[in-house]
Structures are given as C-alpha cells and as structure tokens.
Amino acid sequence: MTRGEAYRKHLRSPDWKDQRALALARTCGFCQFCGDFAEHVHHVRYPKQFGDEHPDSLIPVCDRCHRTSHGIQKMKALTNVQIMREFSPEGGRLNYLVSEGRVFASAKSWGRALQVPESMASWFDGRLSVNALYGKGMSGDELRRSHENVPVYRWRAVAQTLRNFDHAFLTHGFKQRSIQERLDRERFHERYERLVEWGDDLQERAMAHALSKQKDPATPEQISETRLVAVVAEAVKPRLDDHDVKIRKQDIIIAEIKGAVPAMRDAGDFVTVRQAISERGLDPNVMPLHPKSRETFAGLAGQMLITKGADKGGAAISRLEGQTMTTAVNTYQRGAIYEVLDEIVRKKPNGLPL
C-alpha cells in the first residue's frame, strides 16, 4: 500500500473522525486562519504513521485557506536569489535565501536552526503558517514565497511566531501540556531573546549586503527605492521594539502587584478566610483573645462573619493545618472579611501579636 493509499484509508477511519472533531471543537468550527466557517482540517505536518497526529498539527480551515495552504502555485516565486548558510547560537544549521535584502527559509530550516523542540514543532509550523498567510511586511509584501516549489518564510514571520510563543509562555505557561512538553518549552523560552537577536542580526546583515550592491552600478541586481526603504525599516524595527517590550514587562509587573497588594484585589471576590488573612500578611493561627479564648484568628473571623450574616459564596476545598486531609470551607466576599479582620486588629488586647 502506497502512502497516498494509506492516507486515504486513514481519512475514512473512526480515529480520524475523532481527531477531526476535536480539532474543530478547539476553534468552535471556525477557520484558524481567517475566522470563516471551517470545512476541512489541515495537516500542518504529516506524521510518519497516520493516526499519530499531534493535536497542534491539525488546523481547522475553510476551503479557500485550505487550497492556499496546499497550493504553492498561488505564491509568488522568489527572484534574484542568493543561497546562504548560517549557524544559529544553538548550533543549528540554517540554509536560507536572500532576495532583495530579505531573508527567507523553509519552515523545516527555521525549525532546525532555532532548535525548536520536537514536542512543539507542529505548533511552530502551524503558527508560522498562520502568521505568513495573513501577515504583511511593511511594504505590503507577502511573508511567504516559493523557491523551487517549496514554501519559504521571511524572518519577519518567524520573529512574530517567536513573539507569539513568548506571549503564550508568559500568559499561561502551557500548563495544560504534559510535564515533558512544559520542560521543553521552558528550555526553549530560555533561548528566546538570544534567538530573536540572532535573527534580527541576520536580517540586518542581509540588508547591509543589499545596500553594498546598490552602490555598485555594475551590479545587475538592483532594488527599487520603495523596497529598499521597506527592507531598512523592517531591519531596524526590532531595535525599536524596546517600547513594546517595556510595556509588556510593565503589564507583568502590574499583574504581580495586583497579586501581592490586597488593596488592589477585587473586594467582591469570594475567598476563604485563611486566604484573606494571608493576603493581609497576618497569621491565621494566632489566638487574639487568649487567654480568654483559644479561638484562632481564622476561627474568630469566621464566627464574626456568621454573626454579621455575611454573604457566602461556593464552598472551597482546603487542606487542614498540618494534615494531609482536605475539607470544604466557606467563602465570603473579600471586602467583608477584610472589615472583620480590621475590627479584630483594632480591638485586640494590647501587646498581643497578630
């Protein structure tokens, strides 16, 4: 049986129907490229054994985007191509093309040079395809071309894909992945800044090479002024992206401040008494009324909330102090707990620590 026959057989199998349904459910039935209704599920990369597809390699697409993904005849072919070779900081070999001052390479070449972990190779290829298919350069040029009937991608699309990864890593850390996949992504993220800087430098050197050719009237390969301006702009743009990086870091800092400063928390959220006490930097196990009462701070606050008729939220599961057992505990609005805590602190006997 040929591989084509095996593929067609696989498309009729129950396994493929399940995989297809899961992929469509991930995007609620919409095309991952353009947002239109998805009619197909596209293989970003084909597995060695059909049925072993990684979920990241299956992308719901509409008919137009599916044909575009497979139909390299719709891509413009590169002209004035110079074949180059480079090694990334990680030692990965990059076979790339320079055309009119811009750097191109196949998805496979980029992945090898960047040393993209195998567990996220399908994600990388899929995101690169999305960025290239609907992204444009500063001159309006496509980010994907063809060379000898092979799709090749500009560094700009690759850089955007790396930024997508960085954002996803900082946002949710791929916590839904397996432990090994999370470790792969953590190691790759450690190299993120170095790889982006390397790619930017690669593009700048290609631009410098194009500029040197511009100065030589005997060189037949010439670049239009508009194209040259676009190449220069795209090459220096990453160096001007510090402002965006600072904003992103500020967002992270703000999120950390919100997580650390109780005053910035939502007073209407329902939390446990112990959580609110910890947010205020207090000890839930101290006994404020000792020796009159052996009630802990957490227990006393809970009793006061019940007496005041504070609104309860859904029960939360909490581990008992010093034990492995868990139990369901009440939750109250954060603002109500804070008021009770302040009242206890104000009325506590002098000299008793909290």
pLDDT score recorded for residue 113: 95
Whether 316 and 220 map to the same domain: the answer is no
Residue 164 lies in a domain: yes
Whether residue 161 contacts residue 129, with contact meaning beta carbons closer than 8 Å, is answered with no
Residue corresponding to tokens 């696989």: 10
Domain endpoint, select from 21, 38, 70:
70
Phi-psi region of 281 (alpha: psi -120 to 50; beta: other; left: phi over 0): left
Whether 143 and 213 map to the same domain: the answer is yes
Whether 186 and 326 map to the same domain: the answer is no
Query: Could you read off the pLDDT of 89-132 as tens digits, one per residue?
Result: 888 999 999 988 889 999 999 999 999 998 888 888 888 887 88
pLDDT score recorded for residue 268: 86
pLDDT score recorded for residue 293: 74
pLDDT score recorded for residue 9: 83
Residue 90 lies in a domain: yes
Whether 233 and 105 map to the same domain: the answer is yes
Residue 354 lies in a domain: no
Q: What is the pTM (predicted TM-score) of this model? A: 0.54
Average pLDDT of the residues of the chain: 77
- Rounded (5°) CA angle 287-293-296: 30
Whether 82 and 52 map to the same domain: the answer is no
Domain endpoint, select from 230, 256, 282:
256
Low-confidence residues of the chain: pLDDT under 50: 72-73, 220, 239-240, 243, 254, 257-258, 260-261, 321-325, 350-354
Whether 83 and 225 map to the same domain: the answer is yes
* Segments forming the whole domain that contains residue 299: 270-347
Whether 155 and 10 map to the same domain: the answer is no
Domain endpoint, select from 70, 91, 115:
70
Query: Could you give the CA distance from residue 108 to residue 189 in angstroms, rounded to a whole number?
Result: 19
Could you give the 3-state DSSP secondary structure of residue 298? helix
Residue 280 lies in a domain: yes
Whether residue 153 contacts residue 143, with contact meaning beta carbons closer than 8 Å, is answered with yes
Segments in the chain forming alpha helices (H)? 3-11, 14-26, 63-70, 107-114, 121-134, 155-171, 179-190, 192-214, 225-236, 242-260, 273-279, 297-308, 334-347
Whether 222 and 84 map to the same domain: the answer is yes
Whether 103 and 243 map to the same domain: the answer is yes
Query: Could you read off the pLDDT of 286-326 as tens digits, one per residue?
Result: 777 766 777 888 889 998 999 999 999 888 766 554 444 45
Residue 173 lies in a domain: yes
Residue 177 lies in a domain: yes
Residue 353 lies in a domain: no
Whether 215 and 303 map to the same domain: the answer is no
* CA nearest to 124, candidates 105, 142, 144, 107: 107
pLDDT score recorded for residue 85: 93
Residue 51 lies in a domain: yes
Whether 156 and 235 map to the same domain: the answer is yes
pLDDT score recorded for residue 79: 85
Per the structure, the count of domains in the chain is 3
* CA nearest to 321, candidates 329, 313, 331: 329
Whether 233 and 93 map to the same domain: the answer is yes
| CATH at 52 | 3.40.1800
pLDDT score recorded for residue 319: 53
